[in-house]
Amino acid sequence: MGIAFVAGLGVGAGLTSLMRPQVSQLTPTGTATLETPKYTTVSPARRKEVFKLGVVTFQTGAASIFGIPALNAAQLLVDQINQAGEILGAKVELVVRDESGGPDKMVAVYRELTQQAGVDAYVGLISSADCLAVAPVAEDIGTTLTVFFDCATKQLVDRGMMKKVTFRTGGTTVTDGVALARYVLEVMPDVKTVVGLNQDYAYGRDEWADFKNALLTMKPDVKVLDELFTPLFATDYSAQISKILDLRPDLVHTSLWGPDLVNFIKQATARGLFQQTRVAFARGEFGLYEGMPDDQIVEGPHYHGFPDPKAYYINRDFVEAYISRFGSPPPYPAYHMANAILGVKYAFEVAAAVENVEWPDLSAVVKIFERLAYATPGDYIIMTPNHNAMRGAVVGISKGGKLTALKYMHAAEVNPPVGVLSDQWVKSL
């Protein structure tokens, strides 16, 4: 009986998949290398009724603190887009999946969204490991526009992993590190000693390495007293705080996030760390809302106060809409999501206009996206031929749970030029 059940499952699943419309396969012509992709379209461009947008981000687990605001922004934007004319007349429909389970589940989810659910574009992924796992698969399948909206690994660019259909509309750990280093040297030109406190995994190590290299290149006489790496989700930072209190550095660099950031801030405040040392928080916006003391340096890819909503109406509208719907100002993952979704929308629209068709095929969209520059709530995004965005960063000083003395580091100040390896460029600052 059991074997019949399993056989029935297999046959049933096979038959139902036959009934689903096959996603049109784009076969690449030309050589097998990834250098010059040429596509032949199989189906003629036709107006579509529905634009399926797949969104994959953390809805559970500790990283949901990033994922849920991003999802909120996605829902907000999709509603706005649908009210304001849709994408080429197609109603945008969100298909959401949770980013939990590890990189191999994310590969499965990517395939499910592109091959089974037939999404027209895929926006996703906060974790760098997930991005690095999905990128080769996306390039291999090659049928769907894939946009990474938040992951910060520089490997995607340095290894040239995004050549065909994969894009990232955000900055890397280099962006964060160089922006923070530049700002630190502006507000603390006499900084002499620094200690790093970061989580022990690729993101923490990359953030620290990029900050340290940038700082040491620009001011070689700075001494690194110690580099502390803590396990992810370690709830107790008392040992690290003790060590920092003993070492007495001028500056502490940290890229802690989520419960680790909260625990560190609370425990450090209780022990009086902030009276003794200044802390530079990479991507530290969430610390502002969890009781970060005044006068700390905070860097973020975005901040709701920049560009000033009073002067820049796109940000004003976004912030007001987000607050009225979700109750608090949008944090930077929301801006990241906005960058990605608006990029997808504009890429399709511009490609359709340029090709003068009702619905552009993927090769046209890719060609346009590579050189697209567009305005977003968080200023503007410039896409480059290496499929990564040239993005700046916002740095400021914390005061009363807000960021003041905002300075925007322009993209060219904090990102390597196209074709130059990140580490090489940092050493040449």
Partner 1 sequence: MINALVAFYAFFLNLLAVSIGMAFIYGVARVLNLAHGAFFVLGGYLATALITRLGPVPGALATAAVLAALPPLFYLYVRLTRNELEQLFATYALLLLMEGLFKLVFGYGNYTLADLAAGLGAASVGGQRVPYAYFLAGVAVAGLMATFYLLLYKTRLGLYMRAVSDDREMAALGVRSPLVQHLSIFLGIFATALLGAVAATWQAYTLGLSAEVLIYAFAALVIGGLGNIWGTAAASALVAVARTAVVMFYPELELLVIYIAVIAVLLIRPGGIFTRYARVA
Partner 2 sequence: MRGWLSVVAFIGVAAVVFAAGGDYLKFVAAYVMMWSLAVWGAQLLLRYGLVNFGIGGAYAVGGYAAGLLYRHFGIAEVTLHILTAVVAAGLWGLLSGVVSARVRGVQYALLNLALSMVLYSILLKFYWATGGSDGLYVPLPRFFDASLGDLGLYLLALFFATAWMTLGLVYSQSAAARLADGVRINELRVSALGAHINRQIAAASALASVSAGLGGLGVAYVTSHVSPHYAHWSTSGELVVAALLSNFLPQPWGFVAGAAAYQAVRLFSLQFVTPELFVGVALLATLGLWRYYRR
DSSP track, 190-259: T--EEEEEEESSHHHHHHHHHHHHHHHHH-TT-EEEEEEEE-TT----HHHHHHHHHH--SEEEE---HH
Q: CB within 8 A of 149, min separation 6: which ones?
A: 57, 70, 123, 124, 125, 168, 169, 170, 336, 337, 339, 340
Interface positions, 344-373, toward partner 1 (CB under 8 A): none
Residue 319 CB, shortest distance to partner 1, in Å, is 20
Residue 20 CB, shortest distance to partner 2, in Å, is 7
Angle between helices 332-355 and 362-369 (to 10 degrees): 120
Query: Which C-beta is closer to partner 1: that of 67 or that of 392?
Result: 67
217 binds, among partner 1, partner 2, none (CB under 5 to 8 A by kind): none
17 binds, among partner 2, partner 1, none (CB under 5 to 8 A by kind): partner 2
Query: How far is it, in rounded angstroms, from Cα 116 to Cα 106?
Result: 14
Interface positions, 79-138, toward partner 2 (CB under 8 A): 96-98, 100-105, 107-109, 111-112, 115-116, 128-129, 132-133, 136-137
Residue with tokens 């938040």: 150
Query: How far is it, in rounded angstroms, from Cα 385 to Cα 308?
Result: 30
355 binds, among partner 2, partner 1, none (CB under 5 to 8 A by kind): none
251 binds, among partner 1, partner 2, none (CB under 5 to 8 A by kind): none
137 binds, among partner 1, partner 2, none (CB under 5 to 8 A by kind): partner 2
Half-sphere exposure for 240 (CA within 13 Å, toward CB): 25
**Burial (CB count <10 Å: 0-12, 13-18, 19+), residue 139:** middle
Interface segment toward partner 2; rule CB under 8 A; list 2-10, 74-82, 240-248, 320-328: 2-10
Query: How far is it, in rounded angstroms, from Cα 396 to Cα 299?
Result: 6
Residue 94 CB, shortest distance to partner 2, in Å, is 11
Query: Which C-beta is closer to partner 2: that of 104 or that of 320?
Result: 104
Query: Which C-beta is closer to partner 1: that of 189 or that of 327?
Result: 327
Residue 326 sits in the site that holds partner 2 (CB under 8 A): no
Residue 219 CB, shortest distance to partner 1, in Å, is 25
- Secondary structure, 3-state, 75-133: HHHHHHHHHCCCECCEEEEEEEEECCCCHHHHHHHHHHHHHHCCCCEEEECCCHHHHHH
Residue 238 sits in the site that holds partner 1 (CB under 8 A): yes
Residue 103 sits in the site that holds partner 1 (CB under 8 A): no
Interface positions, 147-206, toward partner 2 (CB under 8 A): 153, 155, 200-203, 205
Query: How far is it, in rounded angstroms, from Cα 111 to Cα 215?
Result: 41
**Per rule CB under 8 A, count of chain residues that contact partner 1:** 39
Interface positions, 174-203, toward partner 1 (CB under 8 A): 200
Residue 357 CB, shortest distance to partner 1, in Å, is 42
Beta carbons of 138 and 162 less than 8 angstroms apart: no
Beta carbons of 333 and 67 less than 8 angstroms apart: yes
Angle at 182 between CA 181 and CA 185, to 5 degrees: 85
User: Where does this chain bind partner 2 (CB under 8 A)?
Assistant: 2-3, 6-7, 10-11, 13-15, 17-18, 20, 22, 59-60, 96-98, 100-105, 107-109, 111-112, 115-116, 128-129, 132-133, 136-137, 140, 153, 155, 200-203, 205
User: Where does this chain bind partner 1 (CB under 8 A)?
Assistant: 59-65, 68, 200, 226-231, 233-236, 238-243, 245-246, 258-259, 262-263, 266-267, 269-272, 290-291
